[in-house]
Structure 1
């Protein structure tokens, strides 16, 4: 993972990673964070048959929730928790014949209250499986407590 730009960004990232890894659903789907910043993130899940649909590929609902969690964490790296406003994921190819599914989130826009992310889901070979766009509302709730002093 890339080095954080400053202590505050590092503290936010550490808290969000702890929350993501501590979440029972994320534990179930096998969430693994590879990169996490306010403008870009990358994560992966193992193609486990517990996540398969009746056709033998990863269920679209599992993919959508995986992407939503990662895009939400990327949005929350801005310092305030976010909530999903809209989620669009185009299922282009089935997730088969791959050990992992990768999700990359790239920030497209930061407005006063709305953050928009471009989403790319790929397999081990880099084939584009899904693409989409997610929008989030930035709440007034800070990820870090206001009185938290970084460096102590």
Structure 2
């Protein structure tokens, strides 16, 4: 039985308890057949000393939503997924509000996946462009 969108979002957010995602207040907010979207508040937890969004927090948001996308679209009964590389180009500073990360697949292979993650602010300005490579490996029986 396929989960409803609402139930899938609730399940994904519930497994984030006691993780970096909970610490950074990352919440998965939307999903579709080929994408996931999450948001993260920009506040003191993710600021650099000068009060702008830390690039490491942005990368953590991107890797979190990209990894979740790889998990959602992989047969987890047969495979486990691990991130193997992330890159981030930061284009604009943010001091408050929320940032949103949308993960979509550039390549969805049997073994490797490449995801494009676009991070935007509340006005849909592009903040960062990230790429995440993941690998799906068979579970031992």
TM-score (norm 2): 0.83
* Equivalent pair of 2:66/2:115 in contact (CA under 8 Å): yes
| Distance of aligned partners of 1:33 and 1:12 in 2 relative to their CA distance in 1, 3 Å threshold | closer
Question: Superposed, which structure 2 residues align to 1:82-101 within 5 Å?
Answer: 82-96=81-95, 98-101=96-99
**CA displacement at 1:94 relative to structure 2:** 1.1
| Distance of aligned partners of 1:67 and 1:119 in 2 relative to their CA distance in 1, 3 Å threshold | same
Q: Structure 1, residues 74-107: CA drift from partner, whole Å, max 9, x if none?
A: 00012333111110110111122x4101001011
The aligned counterpart of 2:14 is: 18
The aligned counterpart of 1:116 is: 114
The aligned counterpart of 2:101 is: 103
Structure 1 stretches of 4+ with a deviation exceeding 4 A read 8-15
Bigger drift between 117-126 and 26-35 goes to 26-35
C-alpha separation in 1, matches of 2:26 and 2:131: 20
Unaligned runs of 5+ in 1: 1-5, 142-152
| Distance of aligned partners of 1:123 and 1:14 in 2 relative to their CA distance in 1, 3 Å threshold | closer
C-alpha separation in 1, matches of 2:64 and 2:82: 10
C-alpha separation in 2, matches of 1:50 and 1:8: 33
C-alpha separation in 1, matches of 2:51 and 2:31: 30
**CA displacement at 1:8 relative to structure 2:** 6.2
Unaligned runs of 5+ in 2: none
**CA displacement at 1:39 relative to structure 2:** 1.9
C-alpha separation in 1, matches of 2:97 and 2:88: 21
